[in-house]
Amino acid sequence: MENTNFIVIFLNWLLSFDKKALILGASAIGAGFAMIAGIGPGIGQGYAAGKGAEATSTNPKGSKHSTMIMLLGAGIAETSGILSLVIALILLFGNPLIKQDGDGLIIAVSAIAAGIAMIAGIGPGIGQGYAAGKGCEAASMNPDGSRPSTLVMLLGSAVAQTSGIFSLVIALILMYANPLVTGHQSTIIVAASTLGAGIAMIAGIGPGIGQGYAAGKGTEATGKRPKYQSNVIKTMILGQAVAQTTGIYALVISLVLMFANPLMKLL
Amino acid sequence: MEPITGKALVLACSAIGAGLAMIAGIGPGIGQGYAAGKGAEGVGRQPEAQGDIIRTMLLGAAVAETTGIYGLIIALVLLFANPLVKLLQ
């Protein structure tokens, strides 16, 4: 840290503050980042609302039933928005970071990284909303046989939630048990690794959208041919498992950065 | 420029956080726009069901509004009822 570039100057400026002030400021930024996840449910539930309006116009008599399925699916699509809200509220009103021992700068970065990780919630929100719209459509086309298609919608939506759950886990680790806050030799590497652990989780947007699309198409197919529900589910789950891979990669890298960081050994 | 105090840093970061939170508004905008389009399409196809269609559309759009409201609440908390400054003492 002998040389003075703008990063060193910036870090030294940050370190000139009281540790508490640094962590609280970062918590405010982290809370803001977490709320960006709200994009997802907004898009997804809007799609479901559109499908609900469409179903009401194509089958006015069955609109009560199709609207109920729409609200059920939209309720699931709300999950990621609620999770992010909870993380933001914890950062603002029950901040666990200011009580932690360790490097103030790393703890501050943990707060921001936790918020960034929650951005992944965009994915499940969009995907589950699409599934909700398709569930509503299937219910209006075939009101008597909507049970099998609704089941596929619920199952597919549950799978689409996984990447959002991964992000929640990483955010909670960062806030309550980041292993990097104590006992290290290079502040800059540890701070950047912590930030990277949060940024990696943004990948969860993809699996969330993709698996939700698969859930919607599975729901649509089951609505048309309920007899083949088990075949549809098998294919849907297989495809969703493949769509999950990049989310798993991100989770692995995030965990490696925090718990088995290879970069310190290279110093 | 005057020296920046810890309190000033927390307040400045709160302003950034409030701005970031509002990015969530992208979602409800896109989603509700789609709902409005489908509602218009439905009324065009089935004019006599206009009341029902609009009701369903608005019900769904209200659900889609929630995450935008969450973002707004967090931003307003950061600006007008900042809990972080109180933790500094």
CA A154, CA A146: separation in Å to the nearest integer? 12
Q: Does A42 contact B68 at a Cβ distance shorter than 8 Å?
A: yes
Under-50 pLDDT residues of chain B: none
Q: Does B32 contact A49 at a Cβ distance shorter than 8 Å?
A: yes
User: What integer pLDDT is reported at residue B1 of this predicted model?
Assistant: 61
User: What integer pLDDT is reported at residue A8 of this predicted model?
Assistant: 81
* Touching B: A residues 92-121, CB under 8 Å: 92-93, 95, 98
| Closest chain A residue by Cα to residue B59 | A49
pLDDT in tens, A127-144: 999 999 999 999 999 988
3-state secondary structure of A215: helix
Task: Report the first-to-last Cα separation within chain A, whole angstroms.
Answer: 13
B13 chain-A contacts, CB cut-off 8 A:
24-26, 28-29
CA A68, CA B72: separation in Å to the nearest integer? 28
Is the pLDDT confidence value at A2 over 90? no
A110: nearest Cα among A36, A199, A45, A46: A199
Selected for mutation to probe chain A from B56, B73, B89 (highest A CB count within 10 Å) is: B56
CA distance B25 to chain A (A): 6
pLDDT above 70 as % of chain A: 99
pLDDT above 90 as % of chain A: 86
Is the pLDDT confidence value at A4 over 80? no
Whether B79 has its CB under 8 Å from any CB of chain A: the answer is no
Start-end of H helices in chain A: 6-15, 19-35, 39-58, 63-77, 79-93, 104-117, 122-141, 146-160, 162-176, 187-200, 205-224, 229-259, 263-266
Confidence of residue A1 (pLDDT cuts 50, 70, 90): very low
User: What integer pLDDT is reported at residue A3 of this predicted model?
Assistant: 61
Q: Does B10 contact A24 at a Cβ distance shorter than 8 Å?
A: yes
Confidence of residue A187 (pLDDT cuts 50, 70, 90): confident
Mean pLDDT of chain A: 93
Selected for mutation to probe chain A from B4, B57, B74 (highest A CB count within 10 Å) is: B74
Is the pLDDT confidence value at A199 over 90? yes
How much is the pTM? 0.91
pLDDT in tens, A39-48: 999 999 999 9
Q: Does A36 contact B10 at a Cβ distance shorter than 8 Å?
A: no
Confidence of residue A21 (pLDDT cuts 50, 70, 90): very high
Q: How far is CA A128 from CA A11, A24, A26, A197, B63, in A?
A: 41, 34, 31, 26, 14
B54: nearest Cα among A224, A50, A128: A50
A65 chain-B contacts, CB cut-off 8 A:
none
Selected for mutation to probe chain B from A17, A57, A89 (highest B CB count within 10 Å) is: A57
User: What integer pLDDT is reported at residue A186 of this predicted model?
Assistant: 81
The burial class, CB within 10 Å (0-12 / 13-18 / 19+), for A248 is middle
* Touching A: B residues 31-60, CB under 8 Å: 31-39, 41-43, 45-46, 49, 52-57, 59-60
Q: Does B13 contact A29 at a Cβ distance shorter than 8 Å?
A: yes
pLDDT in tens, A48-84: 999 999 999 999 999 999 999 999 999 999 999 999 9
Q: Cβ–Cβ contacts within 10 Å for residue A24, how many?
A: 32
Task: Report the first-to-last Cα separation within chain B, whole angstroms.
Answer: 25
Is the pLDDT confidence value at A109 over 70? yes
* Nearest CB to B24; choose among A38, A44, A57: A38
User: What integer pLDDT is reported at residue A195 of this predicted model?
Assistant: 95
pLDDT in tens, B56-68: 999 999 999 999 9
Whether A84 has its CB under 8 Å from any CB of chain B: the answer is yes
Whether B13 has its CB under 8 Å from any CB of chain A: the answer is yes
